[in-house]
Amino acid sequence: MTDASTRGAGQGDGRPFLTNRQGHPVHDNQNQRTIGARGPATLENYQFLEKISHFDRERVPERVVHARGVTAYGYFEAYGAWGDEPISRYTRAKLFQERGRRTDVAVRFSTVIGGRDSSEAARDPRGFAVKFYTEDGNWDLVGNNLGVFFIRDAIKFPDVIHALKPDPVTFEQKPGRIFDFMSQTPEAMHMLVNLFSPRGIPADYRHMQGFGVNTYKWVDADGNTKLVKYHWMPKQGVRSMTEEDAANVQADSLGHATKDLYEAVARGEHPEWELLVQMMDDHDHPELDFDPLDDTKTWPEQDFPPRPVGRMVLNRMPANYFAENEQISFGTGVLVDGLDFSDDKMLVGRTFSYSDTQRYRVGPNYLQLPVNQAKNARVRTNQRDGQMAYGVDGGESDTHDPQVNYEPSILGGLQEAPGPAHGEQGPEITGRLTRERIPRTNDYLQAGQRYLLMEEWERDDLVRNFTDLLSQCDRRVRERMLWHFLLVENDLGLRVAEGLGVDPSEVAHLEPLPGQTLTEEDERRLANLG
């Protein structure tokens, strides 16, 4: 085909013309500029160089965890009260106050360990991150679908992720590495019992629960606080897959859950979740057999009933995957007035980690991107410049002097907002600076209760998965995992031992791990092993 026939193809049918980023019309998008038809090419060919060099930079680093995911938009609608009791009794956060009040949301569902193009049918926790664009600025609730986590101290996060990620030499995900770490991490048992049951492979994103997992606080108008945990319940119901189901889905598509969400929203089937909150008085609750700030534990529902506070509907999908799914950035530090942190040692570490990675991954001005902006609040800062600075927030249409980019000033510029009704009212804290485990670890009880609550087919699947994976592990890892399982629930330990062809009394000689504290019930079970 000649140059003339390709050049200008499509002209005259009303479609807009292509330009480069400088606004210059592109008359020929098929041929570089060369000396003669057979080259050589010239170096001043701006249009070609711009095209190629932009392409060379199309990727930003994928998320170090939760790389594969899908974003959707919608709204959160508040219920305003529990029966006769207004929510304002417990939190002054504006988005929860009146019945029917709507707040825009962006949600990103994800898997954790695989890369950007990995399978969505993998056994993996699912991320459930919600950005509420409130009038007081953004609130991010960054949770998962399983309600608990592997560890309770943020300092262990890089290790647990390294163990779950592929081997650094062969790049193969290996049960031997995963269970090596887990066997030395008794607090992981509750998460493992969930993850290796069918709940570890949700059927898709519409049919899974979400949980805030970490403990947060609610703050009322007088500054009084309660501890809270958040739960998202899908109106669509919960559906999970066995290994076999997942293998079939995966044989067909690596991205079935993203596809399912796009197609459901396009059909007008807008998925919906109810948000429920569990609440406790804000102290350490010595009467409980677990610590309320421990994210490896759930709060018993009979003692702390989950109470509905609103519903969320997803009704729109992104127009651009990169701008809205790759660049969207959530963080546990992103809270609004009326919501607060607790001293949960995971939460503090997470709160540093999210914005730190986003400044690296997306860039220091990631909050200027449309998907991350506090679009329903007015943003006015004295932050300036940096890579890809897009504008000066607070400048235009404000009466203040944009030349005063500091505070305080008598000349102009921004001033501090009037204080909230009360000052900072945190608890008084005394204690030694230390490195210690929390006292009430109780690592097995809830894991065992979870096992007993499962349906028969779920237990069968769990036992099969553990047996299959542990058979691929080093003998020492296998024995230690069996020891933990026997402490979790005798039936679980005995069934996995049988599957592995191991006599359970062979693991009875194992001592508790260094520093491990056992409950009386654990000791009793251990004595029975011998």
Q: Which of 103, 353, 441, 465 binds ligand HEM (CB under 6 A)?
A: 353
Phi, psi of 111, rounded to the nearest 5 degrees = -100, 170
Quick check: bond before 439 cis, omega within 30? no
Helix, strand, coil % in the chain, rounded to nearest 5 = 30, 15, 55
307 in contact with ligand HEM (CB under 6 A): no
Rounded-to-integer distance, Cα 172 and Cα 81, Å: 50
Q: Which is nearer to ligand HEM, 143 or 493 (CB)?
A: 143
Name the minimum Å distance from CB 147 to ligand HEM: 9
Helix 520-529 and helix 475-488, axial crossing angle in degrees, nearest 10: 120
Q: By C-alpha distance, which of 60, 17, 30, 3 is closest to 358?
A: 60
Alpha helices in 295-428 (DSSP H): 321, 345-361
Q: Which of 350, 459, 478, 495 binds ligand HEM (CB under 6 A)?
A: 350
Q: Which of 110, 209, 327, 446 binds ligand HEM (CB under 6 A)?
A: 110
Interacting residues with ligand HEM between 155 and 184 (CB under 6 A): 157
Rounded-to-integer distance, Cα 363 and Cα 302, Å: 45
The three-class DSSP label of residue 273 is: strand
Q: Which is nearer to ligand HEM, 110 or 209 (CB)?
A: 110
Number of residues that bind ligand HEM (CB under 6 A): 28
* One character per residue 322-341, x = contact with ligand HEM (rule: CB under 6 A): ------xxx-----------
Q: Which residues contact 336 (CB under 8 A, 6 or more apart)?
A: 93, 94, 95, 132, 134, 136, 137, 138, 139
The three-class DSSP label of residue 78 is: strand
Q: Which of 72, 93, 106, 213 binds ligand HEM (CB under 6 A)?
A: 213
Rounded-to-integer distance, Cα 326 and Cα 59, Å: 9
Q: Which stretch binds ligand HEM (CB under 6 A): 143-151, 198-206, 286-294, 480-488?
A: 143-151
Q: Which residues contact 381 (CB under 8 A, 6 or more apart)?
A: 393, 394, 414
Interacting residues with ligand HEM between 261 and 300 (CB under 6 A): 295
Q: Which stretch binds ligand HEM (CB under 6 A): 236-244, 260-268, 355-363, 447-455?
A: 355-363
Quick check: bond before 370 cis, omega within 30? no
Q: Which is nearer to ligand HEM, 197 or 296 (CB)?
A: 296
Q: Which is nearer to ligand HEM, 326 or 340 (CB)?
A: 326
Burial class (CB in 10 A: 0-12, 13-18, 19+), 13: exposed
Q: Which stretch binds ligand HEM (CB under 6 A): 138-146, 162-170, 475-483, 495-503?
A: 138-146
Q: Which is nearer to ligand HEM, 47 or 71 (CB)?
A: 71
Residue tagged active-site, from 144, 145, 214, 442: 144
Rounded-to-integer distance, Cα 322 and Cα 6, Å: 30
Annotated catalytic, 66?
A: yes
Q: Which stretch binds ligand HEM (CB under 6 A): 58-66, 169-177, 371-379, 499-507?
A: 58-66
Q: Which is nearer to ligand HEM, 101 or 126 (CB)?
A: 126
143 in contact with ligand HEM (CB under 6 A): yes
Contact 487, 441 (CB under 8 A): no
Q: Which is nearer to ligand HEM, 192 or 496 (CB)?
A: 192
Name the minimum Å distance from CB 347 to ligand HEM: 8
Q: Which is nearer to ligand HEM, 350 or 480 (CB)?
A: 350
129 in contact with ligand HEM (CB under 6 A): yes
Q: Which is nearer to ligand HEM, 271 or 413 (CB)?
A: 271
Residue tagged active-site, from 27, 29, 66, 490: 66
Cα torsion through 415, 420, 422, 423, rounded to 10? -40
Q: Which of 68, 101, 108, 165 binds ligand HEM (CB under 6 A)?
A: 108
Q: Which of 103, 111, 138, 144 binds ligand HEM (CB under 6 A)?
A: 144
Report the residue number whose CB is nearest to ligand HEM. Answer: 127
Rounded-to-integer distance, Cα 182 and Cα 186, Å: 7
Q: By C-alpha distance, which of 252, 304, 295 is closest to 156?
A: 295
Q: Which of 96, 149, 444, 451 binds ligand HEM (CB under 6 A)?
A: 149
Q: What is the H or E stretch that residue 130 is in?
A: strand 126-134
Interacting residues with ligand HEM between 59 and 78 (CB under 6 A): 63-66, 69
> Active-site positions?
66, 144
Report the interface residues with ligand HEM, using CB under 6 A. 63-66, 69, 108, 110, 127, 129, 142-144, 149, 154, 157, 213, 295, 328-330, 346, 349-350, 353-354, 357-358, 361
